[in-house]
Amino acid sequence: MLVTAVAATVVIVSWVLNRPPHSTHERPPAQDTQLVEKPLIGLGGGVTVRELTQDTPFSLVALTGDLAGTSTRVRAKRPDGSWGPWYQAEYETAAPDAPGPDPADAGAGPRSTDPVFVGSTTTVQIAVTRPVDAPVTQAPVTAEANPAELGYRPATKEQPFGQNISAILISPPQAPARTQWTPPTGVTMPGQAPPIISRAEWGADESLRCGSPQYDRAVRAAVVHHTAGSNDYSPLESAGIVKAIYTYHSKTLGWCDIAYNALVDKYGQVFEGSAGASPNRSRHSIPADSTATPGAWR
């Protein structure tokens, strides 16, 4: 995917250097990322493959819910009707203060996966492998807790994800047709920071954020995280994928912001991640020494 080192790669880089002069990227017009929750009801033990279809094209898929002992793979149907390759969904690393079960239940297992980039499609298959004695998954307990205008059920401290599994189908905003792309400079001088595409330039909706950035006095370590999925995207799609990850982290997972300090696509474009930049703590790095960390794209 956008931030990955193998099939699809984006690499998170640390903000040790100062940002260079203002970049030439234009701010994209405001467009919303669409998220749709599809409960996977009736999953038992063993391997189950579910096919999901919707009219609105989407390009990222994530899993949320009771994922203890569970592994998931995703593949998308191509325009010609054939199926693309299977991509393994990787667990998200939740911050200690992220919404979810009580600390005493922290060992219960993961509650979400990274979004998997599969390319634009209207149909995906999800292969879910669960322990043989796993209870059958149920429908989310929601009515009032699932406002229709959101299109998904957000997690809160009062009502964390229930004992169920859901697929989140994510439709990133599209770049306007007039948009042009200028390749980033391939070589920088020692000690020179690469150009950074700011949150304003990639179109971050700051109303999704909550709380204030936490800062450390110095950067002691960096964490590189690789996302999963296809590497078949254009440079003009990268900003939309960043917005989709931001919306998923801040709204669906309730993390208040994107979990990476920076995201780098396969074209070398560096996108500002968590608000505050510099030695700001990103949620992805908090479990490891509370230092500034960079995020990674496939």
CATH number at residue 83: 2.60.120
Give buried/exposed letters for 96-130 (b at 16+ CB in 10 A, else e). eebbbeeeeeeeeebbbbbbbbbbbbebbbbbbbb
The boundaries of the domain holding residue 159 are 34-171
Position 221 scores a pLDDT of 65
Q: Which carries the bigger pLDDT value, residue 287 or residue 196?
A: 196
Residue 45 covered by a domain = yes
Dihedral (C-alpha) 41, 56, 227, 129: value to the nearest 10 degrees?
A: 20
Q: Per the structure block, which two tokens stand in for 36?
A: 């749709």
> What distance in Å separates the CA atoms of residue 101 and residue 147, rounded to the nearest whole number?
22
Instruction: Return d(Cα 185, Cα 201) in angstroms, integer.
Output: 18
78 lies in a domain?
yes
* Of 24 and 181, the one with more pLDDT: 181
Assess contact for 297 and 2: CB atoms under 8 A: yes
pTM of the full structure: 0.75
pLDDT at site 154: 62
Instruction: Cite the DSSP H helix spans in 117-210.
Output: 199-202
CA distance linking residue 178 with residue 176, whole number of Å: 6
- Looking at every residue in the chain, the average pLDDT score rounds to 76
Per the DSSP assignment, residues forming a β-bridge with 113 are 91
Q: What is the pLDDT of residue 12?
A: 37
Name, in order, each residue with C-beta under 8 angstroms of 82's C-beta and a sequence gap of 6 or more: none
Q: What are phi and psi of 161, to 5 degrees?
A: -55, 135
**pLDDT above 70 as % of the chain:** 61
pLDDT of 199 above 80? yes
Which phi and psi (to 5°) does residue 185 adopt? -60, 130
**Does any domain span residue 157?**
yes
Q: For residue 16, tell me if it sits in a domain.
A: no
Q: Average pLDDT for residues 154-165, to the nearest whole number?
A: 61
Greatest mean pLDDT among 11-25, 50-64, 96-110 = 50-64
Per-residue pLDDT, 108: 57
Judge whether residue 20 has pLDDT over 70: no
> Does 62 fall in a domain?
yes
Q: Is residue 112 one of the residues assigned to a domain?
A: yes
- Largest Cα–Cα separation, the chain: 58
pLDDT at 23 over 70: no
* Residue 268 domain-assigned (yes or no): no
Q: Contact 90/113 with Cβ under 8 angstroms?
A: yes
Q: How many structural domains are present in the chain?
A: 1
Q: Is 170 helix (H, G, I), strand (E, B) or coil?
A: strand
Q: Which of 128-137, 141-150, 258-267 has the lowest mean pLDDT?
A: 141-150
pLDDT digits (tens, 9 = 90+) for 87-118: 999 998 655 444 444 444 445 567 899 999 99
Mean pLDDT, rounded, for 133-153: 68
Q: Quickly tell me which residue has 């059958």 as its tokens.
A: 136
Tell me the pLDDT band of 229, cut-offs 50, 70 and 90: confident
Torsion angles phi and psi, residue 202, rounded to 5: -90, 0
Q: How many C-beta neighbours within 10 Å does residue 150 have? A: 13
Least confident stretch, 67-71, 77-81, 157-161, 263-267: 157-161
